[in-house]
Amino acid sequence: MIAWRLIIRGQVQGVGYRHAMVRAAKTLRVGGWVRNRRDGTVEALVQGDPEAVEQLLGWCRSGPPLARVTAIATVAADVDPALGAFEHRPTQ
């Protein structure tokens, strides 16, 4: 298993990005969470099978149809065995 922390920049709030990411992650069986940040970015922690996580990262580069992703910062994270299914978390 691998884990990444993501900060997604661009037009990613108010376009259904988080809800679409939850659906994509569940389809790929990737665990973790996603939330809006007050600075207008979206933050996520994704973990799971390396191939599935890479597929989700590919999805994140474009997101849902109304999103306009301009950059994604990725930082390796520790795998958290306590994380379950992918979830939507409150803004921070």
| Given the residues 18, 37, 38, 89, the one annotated as active site | 18
In the annotation, is 37 catalytic?
no
Given the residues 36, 37, 38, 61, select the one marked as catalytic: 36
Q: How far apart are CA 83 and CA 10, in angstroms?
A: 27
What is the rounded CA–CA span in Å between residue 28 and residue 2?
14
Q: Look up 36 and say whether it is catalytic.
A: yes
What is the rounded distance in angstroms from the CA atom of residue 5 to the CA atom of residue 33?
10
Which residues are catalytic, by number? 18, 36
